[in-house]
Structure 1
């Protein structure tokens, strides 16, 4: 593919691609594919001219790197979508000047400028008719063309100016939203274990370079493109392939940025980093979020298309009865379709923009609409209602072979290989007490249960009582009194067994988030009928917290599978369910729920599965998301009513001959812009 750089200054480059002229329906696909690259700020594609103009961060990218990424696009695989004309401030200004010319200049000169400026609108309307579609473009073409045919160039240009201004506002909102969402959807930088001289060192993923070796474990987001050197794992590639079933990847297999490790431990060689890693995930997520239509958006689209036929029918009837061309022009200049069709997507994008500024990523209009319908909210406990960083409160040796410091050192040495919040709490406690690292064997992570390793060449297990008792046959009966005493204090217990014998337990305390009570109160005020908690804790401990927070229902001793079943049961009972979670174990429930919300510190898998991602570590953002959804739906419904009432009044006045074409155009287009302005104002409302 021949690509040349036609113009370049640091931060902006324009490419010439003659091949673009053969792919005139791929402009949206090209934009979303390129804007997904880290460092690219804005993309403008002109397939007619065969050019792509790109604004970028010169500290991250070079023009040659961007050229390589453009060259890598496979246009044959692109998703074709009919591309509309992209209005600019220049278009709006030119039409405004044309309106003044039509008013001030002699008729002959006014005719020339008007014919030139309205030509694109007329051509678009004719093309729609050729394709046998009765759309708003047809109405615009008839209205503008009829005014010009009558010699009323000022009305024709006023209508053209208002059309271009409305389109420009809608497209500008879309561009701003696209850019902001592209920045927010970049893979989050993470901490990874890098292998240095056979020693594992935790480093920031942004510091990785080609050739580095990193260790990845269950729940880890994959921040690079690389090759597996050792081990095997189940990799969740749903963001790239759309397939939710994890796939097995072994030695020599390539893995990609944006995917996640579901099960297994692997050693990976870094092949590509940063903006050179695959961007398919981000591009697809942006494309899906911005192009998917919600139910109400589809309804307003259908309603708008029907109103075009109604306007044409009323106009024909008025002309048949009155033979008055002025009345006909006045009626045709009244169009329900613009406001109905444009205000809904503009409202959604305005709310998405506003939410993102408040640290909430809403994945499209469909997510907003469903969020407004929710009547039941289900919370995972750990990391959601409570902080993920729990505190160690008790270290209890049970067999006399270790004191408390020795037991904590053993536990921390193994738990440092897991990213689970409980593991991190134990590691933090050991670091605070400056405890030494204890040598042990390779660590195996058992999802939703615990960890397995070896100590002095004998099996070492730590995790839940269910895991040790049911799966590892550890006897708990001699220590029931000590266990019950800590459980009654509301402690979360991690048990440690060596050679199938219980040698100790560690008690941890949940820290309730400061904003829990306010969040739950606001959710009830927003119309949520049921507040439910799912926890892996015992029934006694879970119910203690449920009573403290006045929750409607509590499910205890939950597994990943049972979480998903609980959500399904609630939906079958007729409820619209929202689930809020953060862990790799929450992905099935996030997917099963009508709306899934992932916390900021959630795993990459949870963030992929969710409809809403919180970008700040505050639970109250859940209530904010619900409030914004309610605002969006209220605004959309009121816009529909306003459009119907006001335009019906204008059309009646036009049909009765009370309005001149110029007045009809001004009132109708003023109404459309006013309604769009209401939708745009939602971006910044307090």
Structure 2
């Protein structure tokens, strides 16, 4: 596409797209394209001027060539991004703000006073009605203060003061609404833009495809532990589905043929084939917005405390106004007190602080589902780690397949991969990847796959029962035997690796040796967590005592437990909470779900099981345990900022009241300073916390 270079310095470029106008959708498409170019570090697109500003590293000519071949029509942009980019929201509120200021200035310049007075009197009815409605509901809130100030000014025939108060209130309301909506939309957008793969049922075969290739009418298969990707109708199977994220129901709901299921809910047990009815991401986006905005359970205690305090202070402001008038008999001084309330700043600044912290966490690839959980992390003194995929590397690797029957190693690995690919866990992914690297293609050759949580998988192939899983599952639960002539080989299995056991017809067929090395940063991350306020670090694993002891010593945990079941982890966390501890649980598998739910803050690794990510309160990327340190520090800094907000808001507004009572400030000046301070505090609360700490 044609463009003109308007400004060009090393590492920075400003271009003008040669087109008469640019729509919001075109601006978002161009921005998405530029941001995904190799070497681009940041970019902005201005739809009003058709300009784009680009910061980059590397070769300038390569960037220019990529811009020359850009076309709106051929750029594949996620539907959610175009539908909910926030660009139109910002433009709408900018226009509203300019319109309000222009109308105010124009009316003062060109309208005669009698018309302005009549309009002010008419407009005051809206605020007075809101105040009366609040009183009728037996509430003393900020609407009563506004109504009293405007009503008294109108009764005194001071229409200029009434008009100024209403103008400032209108500007304040507009800025508050804009700031809040922008924060919520930015956060919801960052949480909802995820593209995953799904199992498509086609001609009685299962094919793993990208979710964006799915069309209404297609049939997709969802198994235990996975998130349902689309709205649809169940056409085969039965299962229990956790719909808490959508409906708030605490108990899973039974789903079978003919029932409707919703995108974003979690299949806890069973298997479903779903005929897709809706593929749009808007439902998921709106659900996340609702979760952030309306769910009381996600509000932090400090947010609830701020709202409660704000409402409790209104009667004192009203009482102070009456007392000022009784002592001074000066209505202007009384109005100056009335114009200052603590409610606006407290009710706006606290949620903005939390939303900003959640958005900052997202920039570090940490997804937090509510302020409540940041507060829990800040207060936490105990952290419990699952070992596999958490303290150890997220991507374990297969190093050997030890055969115990007539099958070749490759054939045994192929069979194992065919089963494991249906149940995403770090160990399962290692098996599937090893088969892929050896180019061992496997068609679906088994019957229905049954997954037994924390144990293994059972199915049948050509009428032969095949199971794969832990030592406990294969030998104790299923009673499988080791071929007598292979006992010595079994006893000499390498001890430095984790073992996955596979049996066919109750006879051990293979042991897959998996290297699950400790993360290099694990010990340092544990030390950093202790420095940030964690007093007790615990490791829990299903591995043997010997393996657990070795890992625990290297990591530096205070306590460890080996050969534990899912319920053991959850029970331990409940005991800690009963002692008064605040607990963080970190895990990545289906078997970690009960513990993640039991903890004050459950943290899931992003490439673990989908049910773990959905149930968890917080999700962190899989590549670095230091993200847990960032999460803890961010939470600590958020609580500090909120307590600083309390001091600033109460101190500044108390000062305004004092200046109003002494007659130094007029009511309109008090209102202006009060609204300006509320806006500045809110804007300050949108600044990154971690950068602020670095500056200090």
Q: TM-score, normalised by structure 1?
A: 0.78
Distance, in Å, in 2 between the alignment partners of 1:265 and 1:308 is 55
SS at match of 1:338: helix
1:334-388 residue CA offsets vs partner (Å, 9 max, x unmatched): 2222222221122222223333344333223323322322222222222333344
Instruction: Quote the offset at 1:136 in angstroms.
Output: 1.0
SS at match of 1:462: strand
Distance 1:261 1:385, change over 3 A: same
Residue of structure 1 equivalent to 2:291: 288
Distance 1:591 1:285, change over 3 A: farther
1:7-37 residue CA offsets vs partner (Å, 9 max, x unmatched): xx9979xxxxxxxxxxxxxxxxxxxxxxxxx
SS at match of 1:393: strand
> Given that residues 102 and 154 in structure 1 are in contact (C-alpha distance below 8 angstroms), is that contact kept between their aligned partners in structure 2?
no
Distance, in Å, in 1 between the alignment partners of 2:203 and 2:103 is 70
1:271 counterpart = 2:276: yes
Instruction: Quote the offset at 1:558 in angstroms.
Output: 2.2
Structure 2: tracts of 5 or more residues without a match? 1-21, 26-74, 85-91
User: How do 1:425-464 and structure 2 match up within 5 A?
Assistant: 425-435=430-440, 437=442, 441-442=446-447, 443-454=449-460, 457-464=463-470
Distance, in Å, in 2 between the alignment partners of 1:253 and 1:114 is 56
Instruction: Quote the offset at 1:464 in angstroms.
Output: 0.6
1:324 counterpart = 2:330: yes
Residue of structure 2 equivalent to 1:581: 587
Residue of structure 2 equivalent to 1:179: 185
Q: 1:125 aligns with which of 131, 134, 138?
A: 131
Residue of structure 2 equivalent to 1:389: 395
1:537 counterpart = 2:527: no
User: How do 1:300-449 and structure 2 match up within 5 A?
Assistant: 300-398=306-404, 401-435=406-440, 437=442, 441-442=446-447, 443-449=449-455
Instruction: Quote the offset at 1:541 in angstroms.
Output: 1.0
Distance 1:142 1:492, change over 3 A: same
SS at match of 1:162: helix
1:103-122 residue CA offsets vs partner (Å, 9 max, x unmatched): 99876566356446655434
> Given that residues 92 and 164 in structure 1 are in contact (C-alpha distance below 8 angstroms), is that contact kept between their aligned partners in structure 2?
no
Residue of structure 1 equivalent to 2:670: 664
Deviates more, 1:418-427 or 1:210-219: 210-219
Q: 1:237 aligns with which of 240, 243, 268?
A: 243
> Given that residues 375 and 639 in structure 2 are in contact (C-alpha distance below 8 angstroms), is that contact kept between their aligned partners in structure 1?
yes
> Given that residues 185 and 289 in structure 2 are in contact (C-alpha distance below 8 angstroms), is that contact kept between their aligned partners in structure 1?
no
Structure 1: tracts of 5 or more residues without a match? 1-8, 13-56, 67-85
Distance 1:668 1:418, change over 3 A: closer
Distance 1:586 1:110, change over 3 A: same
1:217 counterpart = 2:223: yes
Instruction: Quote the offset at 1:426 in angstroms.
Output: 1.6
Distance, in Å, in 2 between the alignment partners of 1:429 and 1:97 is 68
CA RMSD, Structure 1 to Structure 2 (Å):
3.7
SS at match of 2:592: helix
How many residues were matched structurally? 608
1:134-155 residue CA offsets vs partner (Å, 9 max, x unmatched): 2112212323444455565555
SS at match of 1:681: coil
1:212-259 residue CA offsets vs partner (Å, 9 max, x unmatched): 344333223222344444444343333344334444444454444323
1:297 counterpart = 2:300: no
SS at match of 1:630: helix
Instruction: Quote the offset at 1:643 in angstroms.
Output: 1.7
Residue of structure 1 equivalent to 2:38: none
Distance, in Å, in 2 between the alignment partners of 1:365 and 1:407 is 48
> Given that residues 256 and 278 in structure 1 are in contact (C-alpha distance below 8 angstroms), is that contact kept between their aligned partners in structure 2?
no
Distance, in Å, in 1 between the alignment partners of 2:458 and 2:477 is 12
Instruction: Quote the offset at 1:595 in angstroms.
Output: 1.2
SS at match of 2:685: helix
SS at match of 1:289: helix
Distance 1:484 1:283, change over 3 A: farther
Distance 1:654 1:117, change over 3 A: same
Residue of structure 2 equivalent to 1:30: none
> Given that residues 410 and 438 in structure 1 are in contact (C-alpha distance below 8 angstroms), is that contact kept between their aligned partners in structure 2?
no
> Given that residues 195 and 201 in structure 1 are in contact (C-alpha distance below 8 angstroms), is that contact kept between their aligned partners in structure 2?
yes
1:60-114 residue CA offsets vs partner (Å, 9 max, x unmatched): 889xx99xxxxxxxxxxxxxxxxxxx98753575257537866998765663564
1:263-291 residue CA offsets vs partner (Å, 9 max, x unmatched): 3344x25231411x893x65444323212
Residue of structure 1 equivalent to 2:8: none
Residue of structure 1 equivalent to 2:656: 650
Distance, in Å, in 1 between the alignment partners of 2:671 and 2:570 is 55
Distance 1:525 1:484, change over 3 A: farther
> Given that residues 195 and 213 in structure 1 are in contact (C-alpha distance below 8 angstroms), is that contact kept between their aligned partners in structure 2?
yes
Distance 1:543 1:211, change over 3 A: same
> Given that residues 394 and 623 in structure 2 are in contact (C-alpha distance below 8 angstroms), is that contact kept between their aligned partners in structure 1?
no
Distance 1:147 1:568, change over 3 A: same
Distance, in Å, in 1 between the alignment partners of 2:274 and 2:324 is 74
Distance 1:411 1:162, change over 3 A: same
